[in-house]
């Protein structure tokens, strides 16, 4: 039926054109933003997941920075610990040399004094960002150090921060206020000819025992006892260096893991919400063609009324 009031062909053509224009707008939005899911209205589930994971990735970025700070502190302590192990090894060698008959023990003691000063210098310098794990000159003991290691989201949606802990209190080199808390300040008991004597390498503010040092009258038995004491100190320092080294390696591994995890999350979010630019560009080209055809169809539909008018003119 031909009607001049209701042009069904034009209505159908216009409806098709509206649909094509809507699809073109969506496709152009995806191309301009690069996202297939840009808002919650596009896909509520994927948008929610992507938003949460992007937030978690920002938290992981902060964790990465915190791990870097922890790594710097650990590296500083480890470097200082390695240096002190070398110095204590040198002190042990000097004491062994002092056991040789006829050696000038006073001169060797001067070398020992300089080496002990070097131990103090290294310990005091092992500071990063105002934090020193190896030297303490306060009455407050150094305790376990916590370093942010990871950001965790549980299956129930709750979040938590996990830390990497290092018991720094057990590996302090010099504690000026509490002698027993420092590996170099605490006393090491040794038996000399049936008499127990306690030796220490670096003097704290209030030290008890005997400082490891030499004089011309130092007996061979005393020198051997000092060597034994230094060897015991050296073993403790070696254990401390090994623990620090293991902590350092773990931090490096965690830092690398966090980087990989952030990349993986980015890829996962991309799979959910990123637009396939090849597909979208192809779709846009097809929609442009459909739009042109739709405009042509609408034009034809609108011309039907003019055809009816021609009938009346005849």
State yes or no: pLDDT of 281 exceeds 60.
yes
Return the HEC string of 223-274.
Answer: HHHHHHHHHHHHHHHHHHHHHHHHHHHHHHHHHHHHHHHHHHHHHHHHHHHE
DSSP 4: S
Mean pLDDT of 66-94: 95
pLDDT at 173 over 80: yes
Residue 3 burial by Cβ neighbours in a 10 Å radius (0-12, 13-18, 19+): exposed
8-35 average pLDDT score: 85
Whether the Cβ atoms of residue 133 and residue 77 lie closer than 8 Å to each other: yes
User: Running DSSP on this structure, what letter comes out for residue 136?
Assistant: E
Rg (CA), the chain: 39
Q: How confident is the model at residue 64 (pLDDT cuts 50, 70, 90)?
A: very high
Rounded to 5 degrees, what angle do the CA atoms 167, 160, 255 make? 60
Please tell me the total number of residues recorded for the chain in this structure: 314
Packing angle, helices 220-273 and 44-98, rounded to 10? 170
**Average of per-residue pLDDT across 221-231:** 92
pLDDT band at 9 (very low <50, low <70, confident <90, very high): confident
Looking at the predicted structure, is the pLDDT value of residue 110 above 80? Answer: yes
Confidence of residue 55 (pLDDT cuts 50, 70, 90): very high
Which of 134, 164, 161 has the alpha carbon at shortest distance from 147?
164
Is pLDDT at 3 greater than 70 in this prediction? Answer: no
Question: Per-residue confidence at 206, pLDDT binned at 50, 70, 90?
Answer: confident
Q: How confident is the model at residue 234 (pLDDT cuts 50, 70, 90)?
A: very high
The answer to whether 80 and 127 are in contact (CB under 8 A) is: no
User: What's phi and psi for 209, nearest 5 deg?
Assistant: 115, -160
Q: What is the mean pLDDT of residues 269-283?
A: 89
- What is the CATH T-level fold of the domain 44-274, as seen in this structure? f41 fragment of flagellin, N-terminal domain (1.20.1330)
Q: How confident is the model at residue 280 (pLDDT cuts 50, 70, 90)?
A: confident
Flag the least confident range among 2-6, 156-160, 286-290: 2-6
How much is the pLDDT for 107?
Answer: 94
Task: Assign 131 to helix, strand or coil.
Answer: strand
**Beta bridge pairs of residue 150:** 162
| Per-residue pLDDT at 1 exceeds 60 | no
Mean pLDDT value of segment 69-78 = 94
Map out the domains of the chain as residue ranges. 44-274, 278-308
The one-character DSSP state at 142 is: P
* Buried b / exposed e along 12-47 (16+ C-beta atoms within 10 A): ebbebbeebeebbebbebbeeeebbbbeeeebeebb
State how far the Cα of 237 lies from the Cα of 87, in Å rounded to an integer.
Answer: 11
Summarised one tens digit per residue, pLDDT across range 112-162 is 999 999 999 999 999 998 899 999 999 999 999 999 999 999 888 899 999
Stretch among 6-10, 27-31, 211-215, 281-285 having the lowest mean pLDDT: 6-10
Write down the mean pLDDT value for the chain: 89
């Amino acid at each position: 039926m031909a009607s001049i009031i209701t042009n069904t062909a034009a209505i159908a053509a216009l409806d098709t054109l509206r649909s094509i224009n809507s699809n073109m707008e969506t496709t152009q939005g995806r191309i301009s933003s690069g996202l297939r899911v840009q808002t919650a209205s596009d896909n509520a589930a994927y948008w929610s997941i992507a938003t949460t994971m992007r937030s978690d990735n920002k938290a992981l970025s902060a964790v990465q920075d915190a791990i870097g700070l922890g790594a710097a502190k650990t590296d500083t302590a480890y470097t200082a610990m390695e240096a002190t192990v070398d110095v204590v090894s040198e002190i042990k060698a000097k004491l062994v040399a002092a056991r040789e008959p006829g050696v000038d023990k006073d001169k060797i003691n001067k070398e020992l004094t300089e080496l002990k000063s070097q131990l103090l210098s290294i310990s005091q310098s092992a500071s990063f960002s105002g934090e020193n794990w190896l030297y303490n000159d306060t009455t407050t003991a150094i305790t376990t150090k916590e370093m942010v290691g990871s950001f965790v989201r549980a299956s129930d949606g709750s979040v938590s921060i996990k830390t990497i802990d290092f018991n720094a209190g057990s590996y302090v080199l010099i504690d000026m206020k509490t002698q027993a808390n420092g590996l170099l300040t605490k006393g090491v008991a040794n038996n000399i000819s049936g008499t127990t004597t306690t030796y220490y390498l670096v003097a704290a503010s209030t030290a008890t025992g005997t400082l490891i040092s030499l004089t011309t009258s130092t007996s061979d038995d005393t020198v051997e006892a000092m060597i034994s004491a230094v060897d015991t100190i050296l073993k403790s320092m070696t254990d401390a260096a090994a623990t620090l080294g293991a902590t350092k390696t773990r931090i490096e591994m965690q830092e690398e893991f966090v980087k990989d995890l952030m990349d993986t999350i980015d890829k996962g979010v991309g799979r959910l919400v990123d637009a396939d630019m090849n597909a979208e560009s192809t779709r846009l080209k097809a929609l442009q063609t459909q739009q042109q055809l739709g405009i042509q169809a609408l034009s034809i539909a609108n011309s039907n009324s003019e055809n009816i008018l021609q009938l009346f003119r005849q």
